[in-house]
Structures are given as structure tokens and as C-alpha cells.
Amino acid sequence: MFGTLALIAAVWQSGEIGRIVIYVIGGIVVFDLTLHFGNQYGVFLRQQQPRDAELLKASHGAAVLALCGLGLSTVGMAQIDEFVTALRAAPDDWKYAGGALAFAAVILWGVVWFVSGARRSLAWAGFRDSRLITRAMLKIGAAAAVWMIWHNPPLDWVWVYWLREVVPYSGPAVMVLVLWLGVTGAVKLVLVLWARHLAARDLVEQDIAAQEFDWDRV
């Protein structure tokens, strides 16, 4: 492993050509991993029950949007303004345009999955599955527990203090976990508990059908 890292460092320091080679190889690796995990995610979705699959789409889309918001808040308005100014000054520079397009694509993906998943999951509105409610509440509880343990750990839990002091970016990583668990659980809970609202005309038609005299039963 150290030999591989040393080779990468040597190629990186060799100049612009070496860096381009690393960028190309890294891009191929990332693309391959994206295809692999995307395919696995698709298989996972197809294995779910229809309602579970739509709830997954809606909750994951909302969580992606929440993580984008977390990223923007972490960066800060000053750096966001700096990026937008640089993008306007050099719209052909892919260092800025590529980043903006990638971020916009993630936002669009989150919106589409949230809206489509939420709309389709409401076909089961009014059917409050205790299994889904329990799982959603467990995720929300897990998010709250992780938050509390990270910010107010017991004095004898030394490993939490060690993570906070030694491991870089451990705080943001825990925040990502808390946000993902909390948002996905909350979205699923709201959609499962959503009441079924019917128009007055539909209710009247259902009542007439229920009270109508059936000659076939005479």
C-alpha cells in the first residue's frame, strides 16, 4: 500500500502530464464505483415492496437535499459568493462550471426522487403500517441518540473524546450520519401517517354505493 502511495506521489510530482494521468485514472475509478454502487442500489430498490421502494426514494431524495444544504452552510456565504463571482467571470472554466453543474445535478436528482417518491407513496395514504412507523421512529431515535452521545458523551466513554480530538472531520461525518438518519426517518414517518383525503363527491359516491339496494341479493 505504501509503495502504491509513493508511486502516486512520484507521478503527481512529475509535472502536469503526471497529474493529468492521475486525474484520468481517478475519474475512471470513480465512474466504475458509481456504476457498481448505482447498480447495487437499483437491485436493492427492486427487491423492496412497492410502498417501501417509494418511501425509500422520497426519504433518500429529501436526505440528499438536506446534505446539500449542510454542505452550503458549512462552506459559508463568503466562499459561495466567491465561487459565484469566479463562475460569472470565467463561465468556460470547467473548474467552476463543472462543479456548478455537478451540484445542480445532485439537487435535481434529490428533488425528482423526493417529489416522485412522495407522490407515489401517497397512493397508500391512510394505511398506517405499524412496521413502517416503527422503523421510521427507530431511525429518528438513532439520530437523536448519536447526536446526544457525540455532544454529551459519558465521562467514561473515552473513545468518543478520542474521535473528536484525533480523527479529522469526525464532527462533520457524525453530522452527516445524524442528518441522514433523522431526515429519512422523519420523511417516512410523515408519509406513512399521512391521512387519506377524499373529495366530497367521492365520499358521496361511496356512501350511495354502500346504501344502494342490491336486487341480486334478494
156 — phi, psi (to 5°)? -90, 0
Residues 122 and 34 in one domain: no
Count of domains observed in the chain: 2
Q: In sequence order, what are the residues at sequence separation of 6 or more whose Cβ sits closer than 8 angstroms to the Cβ of residue 182?
A: 139, 140, 143, 144
Residues 78 and 156 in one domain: yes
Q: Model's pTM, two decimal places? A: 0.68
Joined together, the cell numbers standing for residue 216 give 341480486
pLDDT for 71 beyond 60: yes
Tell me which residue range forms the domain holding 31.
1-47
The alpha carbons of the chain give a radius of gyration, in whole angstroms, of 25
Residues 24 and 119 in one domain: no
The per-residue pLDDT for 3 is 46
Residues 31 and 68 in one domain: no
Give the model's confidence band at 141: pLDDT under 50 very low, under 70 low, under 90 confident, else very high: very high
Residues 153 and 185 in one domain: yes
The per-residue pLDDT for 129 is 85
Tell me the residue ranges of DSSP E strands in 36-138.
none
Is 74 a member of any domain?
yes
Is 204 a member of any domain?
yes
The per-residue pLDDT for 190 is 93
Q: Give per-residue pLDDT as tens, 101-134.
A: 888 888 898 899 999 999 998 888 878 888 889 9
Q: Give per-residue pLDDT as tens, 171-203.
A: 888 888 899 999 999 999 999 998 765 444 555
User: C-alpha angle 91/113/70, rounded to 5°?
Assistant: 60
Q: Buried b / exposed e across 38-65, counting CB within 10 Å, b at 16+?
A: eeeeeeeeeeeeebbbbbbbbbbbbbbb
Residues 16 and 121 in one domain: no
Is 217 a member of any domain?
no
The per-residue pLDDT for 208 is 61
Residues 206 and 111 in one domain: yes
Residues 89 and 20 in one domain: no
Cα 175 from Cα 173, distance rounded (Å): 5
pLDDT for 204 beyond 90: no
Residues 57 and 86 in one domain: yes
The per-residue pLDDT for 116 is 92
Is 218 a member of any domain?
no
Is 58 a member of any domain?
yes
Give the model's confidence band at 94: pLDDT under 50 very low, under 70 low, under 90 confident, else very high: confident
Give the model's confidence band at 12: pLDDT under 50 very low, under 70 low, under 90 confident, else very high: very low
Residues 89 and 10 in one domain: no
Residues 85 and 135 in one domain: yes
Tell me the residue ranges of DSSP E strands in 56-180.
none
> Stretch 61-81: mean pLDDT, rounded?
85
Give the model's confidence band at 148: pLDDT under 50 very low, under 70 low, under 90 confident, else very high: very high
CB 87 within 8 A of CB 96: yes
Residues 54 and 43 in one domain: no
